[in-house]
Chain A
Amino acid sequence: MHLIRSSALTIIFALVPTFLPAQEVEGVRLGLRYQPEYQPGLVVLPFAGAADQGRVLEPVRGIIRQDLDFSDRFEMLEAGVGVAVDDSVNLDLWNERGADWVLQGELGPDPAGGSQLRLVLHDAVYGTIRGDETFLLPAQGDPTFRMSVHAVSDEIVRWATGEAGAAATRIAFVLEGRGSKELFVIDYDGENVQQLTNDGSIALSPAWSPEAGRIAYTSYRSGSPLLYERDLGAGRDRLISDRDGVNITPAYSPDGGTIAFATSVAGNTEVATYNRDENCCLEQHTRGRRFDSLSPSYSPDGRQFAFVSNRLGEPHIYIMTVGGGEPRLLSDYSYGGRGYNTSPDWAPTGRQIAYHGRVDGQMQIIVADLETDRRRLLTAEGSNEDPSWAPDGRHVVFASRDREGGGLYIVDSVSGRVRPLLRGAGYGLPDWSPVLERAGPGQ
C-alpha cells in the first residue's frame, strides 16, 4: 500500500512512515512525493498522404504517437473515429475536448525512395502554430526507418516543451543464459533487439560512448575479467585493460577521450582512467587502505565523478573531483545502519545522481538531487537495481528482480509512471545510449 492514486493525472508515491524500519535516521527523506504535474492534452490527428504513401501512414503515426506517450509529457487523447483528414483543423473543438496540442501530419513521396513527412504542431489554447517542418524519412524497409521516426518525435517534444525527447535512443543490457551472460542492445521502445556478444562467457557492465559508436564492457572470455571496447560500426573489439585482478565498471568521460573504470591495485579495487585516444596513460584516481572504489560515473562537465566506495565498511556513493581531492559522501550513512548503496549514474542534465540502495530490506532506485541535497525513491515495489538515465535527464531504465517476474523497466522520474521494456528473468545492467539521431528538416 505504498501507492496512493489521487487522480488520473496525479500520482503520489509515499512510503507510509510506519513501514520504515526503526533504524531509519532522522532527517532522511526517502520517498518524497512526486510533484503532481499537469499534463497538457495532445492529439495526433490521422495523417494525410498521397496515394502511394498509404502503407506508411499508420506505422509512422503509430510510432510518433507512442513516442509522445512514452515522453510522459502529455496526456494522449484519442483522435476518434471519423475525424476528417483535412487541411483545416478545428482547434476550438479540440481544445474543448481537452487538447492543448494538436499534431497534424502529411506524408508525400520522396524522390530518393522514402517519404517526406510534413508535421504541424498547433497550440490549441492560443490558436497558434508551434512548429511546422518537413522531415525526410527512409523507406519503411530501411533499417534506419524507425530511428528516423523516433528522431522526428523528439523534435515534436522539443517544439512543445523546449526540451527534446529521448526516443531516438537504444539501451544496452546483459542477459543471463545457461551459465553465461551476453550483451544486447534494444531500441528504447522494445523493438529491434540485437545481440552483441555470443561467446558463452560472462559479459558485464556495458557503457555507451558519448558519440554512441562504441560500447565499453567487461568480459571473462579470456578467463579473467578484462575490459574491452566494441566498435559498433565495425563490429570489432579492442582490449582496453588486462591488468591482474579485475578490469570492471567502465564509464566514458563526456568528451569520449577517457574511459574511467575500476581495477586492482595493491590488493584494492581502485578507480583509474585510461586515455583511449592516445591508447595509453593509466592514471589512478582513488587510494584505498583496505577498501575498494569502483563504478565511476562522470558529471556532464567531466570535472567530477560519482563512484562507490566501502571505506565506511559498507558500500556508499561518493563524489570526487577528477585529479584529486577528498571524496564527498552522497548517500545516506548512519553508523551501524547496514546501508548498501551502489551503481551510481550521473544524470546528463547534471543536477541528479541515480543509484540503488537498500530500503526496508529491498533494493530501490534512489535519486539524489545535488542542489537540494535531497533523496527520493523512484521505486517502492520489488527489488530494483542498476539505474541508467536517458539523455533527457528525466527517464531512468533499471533492472527489477521480482516486479511482474522481473525484467527491465523505465520510470519517468517526474511523474513516477513505470513501463516495462523487457519482461523476464536474467536481464540486468542496462545502460541508456546518448541520442542516436537528430531530425533535420528535409529539402
Chain B
Amino acid sequence: MKLRLAVALALVVFAIAGCSRNTPEAAPAPVASNNDADAAARARADSIAAAELARRQAEERALQQQMARAQEILSSVVLFAYDSDELDPEAEERLRTKAAILRANPTLELRVEGHADERGSTEYNLALGQRRAESIRSFLAGYGITENRLATISYGKERPTVMGSSESAWRQNRRGEFAVTAGEISAIPPEVR
C-alpha cells in the first residue's frame, strides 16, 4: 500500500515538474500557449485520475485485507482447559470480535464444533465437546447472535488437529472450531478495522 502511494505521489510530482519546465518555451505563441494549457490540464487530470486510482486500489486492498482478517478471526479456534467448557479472557475476547462480525453480517451462519483431547473416554468426550460448543454458542448469544444462526456439533476426541500425546498437542486439540455454513462477509465492523 505504501509503495503504491509513493508511486502515485511521484507521478504527481513528475507531472508538475514537467509542466513548469515547459512553461518558458510555450509563452510566445498564443495557439501554442492554448495547446500547452490543454496539455497541462490533461496532464493534471491524468495525474488526478492516477492518484484517484491508486487511492481506490489502496482502499480496495485495505478492504480485502480487512475481509481476510475478519474471515480469519471468524474461523479462528478457541481453546479450552482440560475437562472444561469455561471460556478464558482470551477466548472471550476472540468471541466478542466474532460476534461483531456476525452482527455486521446478518446473513452469516456458523457451525460451532466442539473437540476434546485424546485423554479420557470416547463417550464422555462426546458430551464434553458438545458442552464446549454450547458454551461458545451461549456466549455469542449474549452478544446478540440468535442461536438459530449457530449450529453445534461435537466430535469428541475423534478429530484431533494435532497428532501426538504431548501437552502441546492436547492443548491445541481442546478446542472450538468454526465453519461458515451460510452467507459471507460483506461488511467490516469497526472492531476489525
Chain A partners chain B = yes
In the complex, the 9 A-B pairs of residues with the closest C-beta atoms, listed nearest first:
A269-B127, A342-B121, A292-B127, A267-B134, A342-B124, A246-B130, A249-B123, A294-B127, A248-B126
Q: For A264, list chain B residues within 8 Å (CB).
A: 130, 134
Q: For A294, list chain B residues within 8 Å (CB).
A: 123-124, 126-127
18 residue pairs bridging A and B, Cβ less than 8 Å apart: A204-B122, A205-B123, A220-B158, A224-B153, A244-B151, A244-B152, A245-B153, A245-B154, A246-B126, A246-B127, A248-B123, A249-B126, A269-B131, A292-B131, A294-B127, A310-B124, A340-B120, A428-B122
Question: Is A100 interfacial (CB-CB < 8 Å)?
Answer: no
Question: Is B35 interfacial (CB-CB < 8 Å)?
Answer: no
A225 to B134, CA, bound (A): 15
A385 to B157, CA, bound (A): 15
Q: Type the 1/0 row for B86-122, where 1 means its CB is closer than 8 Å to any CB of A.
A: 0000000000000000000000000000000000111
Residue among A264, A356, A428 facing the most chain B CB atoms (10 A cut-off): A264
A429 touches B122 (CB 8 A): yes
Residues A386 and B127 in contact in the complex (CB < 8 Å), given A202-B158, A246-B154:
no
Question: Is A240 interfacial (CB-CB < 8 Å)?
Answer: no
Q: For B151, list chain A residues within 8 Å (CB).
A: 244
Q: For A342, list chain B residues within 8 Å (CB).
A: 120-121, 123-124
Question: Is A407 interfacial (CB-CB < 8 Å)?
Answer: no
Interface residues on A, range: 20 to 34
Q: Type the 1/0 row for B138-164, where 1 means its CB is closer than 8 Å to any CB of A.
A: 100000000000011111001000000
A181 touches B121 (CB 8 A): no
A434 to B120, CA, bound (A): 28
A343 touches B123 (CB 8 A): yes
B123 touches A225 (CB 8 A): no
Question: Is A68 interfacial (CB-CB < 8 Å)?
Answer: no
Question: Is B83 interfacial (CB-CB < 8 Å)?
Answer: yes
**Which chain B residues (144-193) contact chain A, with CB distance < 8 Å?**
151-155, 158
Q: For B130, list chain A residues within 8 Å (CB).
A: 245-246, 264, 269, 292
Question: Is A308 interfacial (CB-CB < 8 Å)?
Answer: yes
Question: Is A169 interfacial (CB-CB < 8 Å)?
Answer: no
Extra 12 A-B pairs, beta carbons < 8 Å, given A269-B126, A295-B123, A386-B122: A204-B158, A205-B123, A225-B126, A225-B153, A244-B152, A245-B154, A269-B131, A292-B127, A308-B124, A315-B120, A315-B121, A386-B121
B154 touches A225 (CB 8 A): yes
A386 to B130, CA, bound (A): 21
Q: Type the 1/0 row for A210-222, where 1 means its CB is closer than 8 Å to any CB of B.
A: 0000000000100
Q: For B123, list chain A residues within 8 Å (CB).
A: 204-205, 248-249, 294-295, 308, 342-343, 429
Residues A262 and B134 in contact in the complex (CB < 8 Å), given A342-B120, A356-B121, A386-B122:
no
Q: For A244, list chain B residues within 8 Å (CB).
A: 151-152
Distance between A402 CB and nearest chain B CB, rounded to angstroms: 11
List chain A positions with a Cβ less than 8 A from chain B: 181, 202, 204-205, 220, 223-225, 244-246, 248-249, 262, 264, 267-269, 292, 294-295, 308, 310, 314-315, 340, 342-343, 356, 363, 385-386, 428-429
Distance between A234 CB and nearest chain B CB, rounded to angstroms: 27
Distance between A18 CB and nearest chain B CB, rounded to angstroms: 25
A163 to B30, CA, bound (A): 124
Residue among B83, B123, B126, B127 facing the most chain A CB atoms (10 A cut-off): B127
Q: For A202, list chain B residues within 8 Å (CB).
A: 155, 158
Q: For B120, list chain A residues within 8 Å (CB).
A: 315, 340, 342
A356 to B153, CA, bound (A): 26
A386 to B121, CA, bound (A): 8
Q: For A262, list chain B residues within 8 Å (CB).
A: 127
Distance between B148 CB and nearest chain A CB, rounded to angstroms: 11
Q: For A220, list chain B residues within 8 Å (CB).
A: 155, 158
A244 to B147, CA, bound (A): 12
Distance between B119 CB and nearest chain A CB, rounded to angstroms: 9
A202 to B153, CA, bound (A): 13
Q: For B152, list chain A residues within 8 Å (CB).
A: 244-245
**Which chain B residues (2-51) contact chain A, with CB distance < 8 Å?**
none
Q: For B155, list chain A residues within 8 Å (CB).
A: 202, 220
A224 to B154, CA, bound (A): 8
Who on chain B is nearest to A266 by CB?
Answer: B134
Distance between A424 CB and nearest chain B CB, rounded to angstroms: 17
Distance between B87 CB and nearest chain A CB, rounded to angstroms: 14
A308 to B83, CA, bound (A): 14
Q: For B128, list chain A residues within 8 Å (CB).
A: 292
A356 to B124, CA, bound (A): 12
A52 to B79, CA, bound (A): 70
A253 to B127, CA, bound (A): 22
A267 touches B127 (CB 8 A): no
A181 to B120, CA, bound (A): 18
Residues A295 and B124 in contact in the complex (CB < 8 Å), given A202-B158, A314-B83:
yes
Residue among B123, B126, B158 facing the most chain A CB atoms (10 A cut-off): B123
Residues A385 and B158 in contact in the complex (CB < 8 Å), given A224-B153, A269-B130:
no
A223 to B152, CA, bound (A): 11
Q: For A223, list chain B residues within 8 Å (CB).
A: 153
Who on chain B is nearest to A313 by CB?
Answer: B83
A1 to B83, CA, bound (A): 31
Q: For B134, list chain A residues within 8 Å (CB).
A: 245, 264, 267
A181 to B158, CA, bound (A): 9
A308 to B128, CA, bound (A): 12
| Residue in A224, A315, A429 whose beta carbon sits within 8 Å of that of B124 in the complex | A315
Distance between B161 CB and nearest chain A CB, rounded to angstroms: 13
| Residue in B83, B121, B153 whose beta carbon sits within 8 Å of that of A385 in the complex | B121
A248 to B131, CA, bound (A): 14
Who on chain B is nearest to A385 by CB?
Answer: B121
